[in-house]
Structures are given as C-alpha cells and as structure tokens.
Amino acid sequence: METEVAIDRFLASPGLSDATRRAYRADLTDFDGWLRACGLGLDDVDVRVLADYTAELGRARRGLAASTISRRLSAVRSLVRHALGPARVPEAALAPRRPRRLPEAPRVDEVERAVDGLNGTSPLALRNAALVELLYACGLRSAEAVGLDLGDVDTEREQIHVLGKGGKERLVPLGEEPAWRLGLWLRDGRPALARGACDALFLSVRGKRLDTSALRRLFPHPHRLRHAYATHLLEGGADLRTIQELLGHASLSTTQIYSHVDARRLRRAYDRAHPRS
C-alpha cells in the first residue's frame, strides 16, 4: 500500500478533529519520509521498524520532547490500525517516559484580576469578559468555549451543554457570576456583532464564530484557567471523580494529575482533625 495514499485516507476520517488532523499530518509526513529513506513501505511496519523510528526520533540532533515523540508514535499506530487493521499494530511500548508535569494554575486573586481587567461596556469588552469568566467558571477547553451555540446555554437550569473531545457531551453547572456576564453579552453586546443567521454564542467582529486563535490573543494561555478551575475545586473540597466528570476526562488517570492538590487538602484536614497531628 502506498504510504502517502494511506495517510490521506486516514486523515479524511470523520472522527478526527481539525487540530488532530493538522498535527497528525505533520507527524505522518515525517514518518513517510523516513520510511522512504530506509527503502520501506507501510506494509513493512512492525515492532523492529517502529523501534528504529523511535531511536531516530530520540537522536539528539532532532531535539524532540518526549511528548512530541509520544504523539508521533501514536499517530503512526493510528495510521497502521486504520490502513492494515488492529492486528498489525505493534504492541511494544516504545515511547519515552514523559516527566510528570504539574499544571500551573493561577491563584484565585490572579483570576479575579484578569476578569476584572476586562470590564467595559463595548460589545467586544462584554464578549471578552463573558468568555474568560466562562472558561474559569466552567473549566472549558478553548475549543469547547468557542464551539458553544446559543442553545447550549440553559439559564433556567443554570447549566451549559458542552461538546468535548471525541464528541463526548457533558452538562456543566453555570454559576451566578458567569450567568450574569453572559446575560450582559447576549443583551447588550452580541446583537451589535451579529450578521445574519449564526448560532454561535461568541462572535468575532465580523459576526462569525470566534476561533481559538482570537481567544489566545485575548488570554495568552487560556488552558491555565481550566487548571485553575480543577485546582480551586479540589482545594474547596470537591473529589477527583466529580472533577473528572466536570472536566470531561475519559479516564480518572488524566484527572489524577491534580492529586498533589488533593494531598495538600487532605494534609490540612489531618492537621486540623487528628489528635496526634
């Protein structure tokens, strides 16, 4: 099978998000080039070939991070699974172990200053304040926030409907402060930017759906607000299982990166409550 053709077919899969498709294309183009240089094709991929490619990725001259190598190997495995079937996917764990990185979450007062700094009465100011408030108050990913439609907001039940990774849906509680800011945006801001029929909750200056690049210009590291959401919930007494559901994590192991926060909370509870502390 021609590797290039197999890559195009794989990347056309409807289950891939646009961001994943872009990242995988770069990864798989690199793999295709390496196969060609070695005189190999996709049909030749086995544990030995994948181990050789992993060694190539790990060479110092490439300077790739462990997370990048892991993503490239994941892309290759997905390609092989799609093109040749699950039985042909090498089972050996070849990716380098990634160092455990704890999320850097801003403090409550930092978040409050960031939101308060977006105050204003113009349509864009109302939009920006509502958007950043929603990211923190609901723990949304950037793509989830800009992907919201008007019908996803239920003010009566005080919740929003979120379409997450892999098409997974969840309902997230909406607090009073984000509901108030959303109300201001919908009443006094959005009508001024609306152009024709667009159901997007957040609009650009051209009346189109806002994209994640515009959000990053507004708040350079929006994912830190999601980390703050999880961290502050844990510090306030929420358990990891609940936070897993609120964040839309498929596995509890993903949420457990916040367990260092949970350990601090448990230590404080122990020091306050145990007679031998």
Is 165 labeled as catalytic in the residue annotation? yes
Task: Determine the Cα–Cα distance for residues 101 and 114; give it in Å rounded to an integer.
Answer: 24
Q: Please identify which of the residues 82, 165, 209, 265 carries the catalytic annotation.
A: 165
Rounded CA-CA distance 22/140 in Å is 22
> Which residue in 72, 141, 181, 224 is the catalytic one?
141
Q: H helices of the chain, where? A: 3-11, 18-37, 47-57, 66-84, 108-116, 123-138, 142-146, 176-184, 190-193, 212-218, 223-235, 240-247, 252-255, 259-273
Q: Which listed residue (170, 209, 223, 265) is catalytic?
A: 223
Question: In angstroms, how far is CA 37 from the centroid of its own chain?
Answer: 35
Active-site annotation holds for 249: yes
> Is 223 part of the annotated catalytic residue set?
yes
How far apart are alpha carbons 266 and 263 in whole angstroms? 5
The one catalytic residue in 24, 53, 136, 258 is 258
258 is catalytic: yes
What 3-state DSSP class applies to 159?
Answer: strand
The b-or-e profile of 172-196 (16+ CB within 10 A means b, else e) is bebeeebbebbebbbeebbeebeee
CB atoms within 10 A of CB 93: 7
Catalytic residue among 72, 190, 226, 232: 226
Q: What residues act catalytically?
A: 141, 165, 223, 226, 249, 258
